[in-house]
Amino acid sequence: MPFTANRAFKKAPVLFASAEGMHYKTPEGRSVLDGTSGLWCVNAGHARQPILAAVRQQLAELDYAPGFQTGHPQAFAAARAVAARMPAGLDRIFFANSGSEAVDSALKIALAYHRADGQAQRTRLIGRERGYHGVGFGGISVGGLGANRQAFSGNLLPSVDHLPHTYDAERQRHSRGQPAWGAHLADELERRIALHGAHTIAAVIVEPVAGSAGVLVPPAGYLARLREITRRHGILLIFDEVITGFGRLGAPTASAYFDVTPDLITLAKGISNAVVPAGAVAVRREIHDTILDAAPDGAIEFAHGYTYSGHPLAAAAIQATLALYDEEELYARAGMLATDFELAVHRLDDAPHVQDVRNLGLMAGIDLAPRDGEPGARGRAVFQGCFERGVLVRYTGDTIALSPPLIAEPGQIEEIVRTLRSVLDGLA
Ligand SMILES: Cc1ncc(COP(=O)(O)O)c(C=O)c1O
């Protein structure tokens, strides 16, 4: 199983048999409140009929059409639907099937752009410590999670560097929303530029809010400063919005939320409400046009793509999902709910074992003190305790992450936090 302690799982399997709205059901019929939107992806809640109906209808009409040299109208309609929700100018869409594929596609687009623009020497990619960009070799190379990289360290992409992460417990602990301290950490990019030369750097990729590392919220002003430095040096800025895209912060994108527009945005998860696997890259039009214009007439301009890029079922799910988000005004709802959510999660600030609570939008990270000699054990115990009491939370090591669906009722937020509190209160 992916990212799972397989032997431990076999001994005590955690299984879900069905889901609807805010709840999963276990095979025994027990209801579990979804505090994590599955894996940060079921933003509109489970089994939403308009999405399921659109997928069913698509299945009856066209199961599959090749995406190489042929196409089908729904893929283009889905691309228009995605583009309409992106910041102005990022209106060219390349489809993939996951966040990892979206990231690798975006990195290749960045390299292809510079080559087409006559700057083929710009090959260096810069990620950030504690960044998660999926599990392709591109993604783990720019990613900054040691456990995901070290087993493959001999085979990572060459010409990659990393910025420092933006978390400092002493200065940021128990921040509500964006920490005030840390914008200057963006200036580390200037040091990387001084070291390598801007003319060798293709792109910087960051998650606007680092999700998988435990919800690391960018310091106020940090992203704007990264944007300013990258623009000044002709370096492309990629925001990995696989988690933050489509409402998590109460806006269509984190780019819109922070009012910082990158050159490329990677998307997945909430793009299809996870009904059909899907991912995408939104690309600034000039980047797209430069790549196309540089190729001879009749040539394939970008030698990259997947058998299932723009798959009809994904295209149908994407359109229905994005329409549902609009119809139910879920981004605005998430924005309003975020205030209750912040108040609720920070009631855990003084809970036993809690070292830090961080939040933005409908994302929160809660660091627990590790047990002596048993890192991760306390996180696992909290997960298990919550599951037994009917609430799904996520844990990585000793960090608990919360990311409820955008349809959550305030009472359900309370239930998630109350359950966490009671588990922590009773925990060794
Ligand atoms: C920011 C970010 N990028 C990329 C990915 C990879 O997505 P996937 O698991 O769909 O490949 C994830 C997954 O959690 C993610 O959070």
Per residue in 18-53, pLDDT (tens digit) is: 999 999 999 999 999 999 999 999 999 999 999 999
What atom of ligand 1 comes closest to residue 207's alpha carbon? 1
- List, for residues 44-90, the tens digit of each pLDDT value: 999 999 999 999 999 999 999 999 999 999 999 999 999 999 999 99
Mean pLDDT of 195-200: 98
Supply the residue whose CA is at minimum distance from atom 8 of ligand 1.
99
Sign for the CA dihedral angle at 99, 105, 108, 110 comes to negative
pLDDT at res. 83: 98
What atom of ligand 1 comes closest to residue 100's alpha carbon? 11
What atom of ligand 1 comes closest to residue 244's alpha carbon? 1
Choose the residue to mutate in 242, 269, 275 for probing ligand 1, maximizing ligand atoms within 8 Å of C-beta: 242
Residues with CB under 6 A from ligand 1: 98-100, 103, 132-134, 207, 211-212, 240, 242-243, 268
SS3 185: helix
pLDDT at res. 373: 97
Amino acid at 384: Q
pLDDT at res. 241: 99
Sign for the CA dihedral angle at 300, 301, 307, 310 comes to negative
pLDDT at res. 96: 98
pLDDT at res. 49: 98
Smallest Cα–Cα separation from 318: which of 47, 75, 56, 4?
A: 75
- How many of the other CB atoms lie within 10 Å of CB of 377? 16
pLDDT at res. 126: 98
What atom of ligand 1 comes closest to residue 269's alpha carbon? 10
To the nearest whole number, what is the mean pLDDT of the chain?
98
* Inter-residue contact 65 to 71 (CB < 8 Å): yes
pLDDT at res. 167: 98
pLDDT at res. 15: 97
pLDDT at res. 389: 98
Model confidence at 398, pLDDT cuts 50, 70, 90, reads very high
SS3 239: strand
Instruction: Provide, for the chain, the percentages of residues in helix, strand and coil under a 3-state DSSP scheme, each rounded to the nearest 5.
Output: 40, 15, 40
State in Å: Cα 255 to ligand 1 middle.
17
Q: How far is CA 393 from CA 131, 137, 316, 389, in A?
A: 21, 29, 30, 11
Q: How far is CA 326 from CA 164, 299, 320, 322, 406, in A?
A: 37, 39, 10, 6, 12
Mean pLDDT of 364-385: 97
- How many of the other CB atoms lie within 10 Å of CB of 141? 22
Q: What are the residues facing 359 on neighbouring strands?
A: 364
Choose the residue to mutate in 1, 40, 132, 148 for probing ligand 1, maximizing ligand atoms within 8 Å of C-beta: 132
* Domain 6-47+329-425: CATH superfamily, name plus number: Aspartate Aminotransferase, domain 1 (3.90.1150.10)
Integer Cα distance of 266 and 245 in angstroms:
8
Integer Cα distance of 410 and 340 in angstroms:
7
Mean pLDDT of 180-192: 98
Mean pLDDT of 336-345: 98
pLDDT at res. 235: 99
Mean pLDDT of 177-204: 98
Q: Following DSSP, what letter does each residue of 105-124 receive, concatenated?
A: HHHHHHHHHHHHTT-TT--E
Percent of the chain exceeding pLDDT 70 equals 100
Query: Rounded to the nearest 10 degrees, what angle do helices 377-388 and 410-425 cross at?
Result: 130
pLDDT at res. 215: 98
118 burial class (0-12, 13-18, 19+ CB within 10 angstroms)?
A: exposed
Supply the residue whose CA is at minimum distance from atom 13 of ligand 1.
134
Domains 6-47+329-425 and 51-327 share a fold: no
For the chain, domain boundaries:
6-47+329-425, 51-327
pLDDT at res. 243: 98
Q: Which CATH architecture has domain 51-327?
A: 3-Layer(aba) Sandwich (3.40)
Residues ≥6 apart with Cβ < 8 Å to 359:
176, 177, 215, 217, 338, 341, 342, 345, 346, 365
Residues ≥6 apart with Cβ < 8 Å to 315:
58, 72, 74, 75, 77, 78, 95
pLDDT at res. 181: 98
Residues ≥6 apart with Cβ < 8 Å to 67:
75, 95, 305, 306, 307, 308, 309, 310, 311
Model confidence at 324, pLDDT cuts 50, 70, 90, reads very high
Token pair listed for 89? 């100018």
Mean pLDDT of 376-388: 97
pLDDT at res. 393: 98
Smallest Cα–Cα separation from 172: which of 218, 128, 209?
A: 218
- List, for residues 128-176, the tens digit of each pLDDT value: 999 999 999 999 999 999 999 999 999 999 999 999 999 999 999 999 9
- Strands (DSSP E) contained in 59-182 are 92-96, 124-128, 160-163
Whole-structure pTM over 0.95, yes or no? yes
Smallest Cα–Cα separation from 236: which of 271, 270, 201, 212?
A: 201
Smallest Cα–Cα separation from 203: which of 225, 234, 224?
A: 234
pLDDT at res. 7: 96
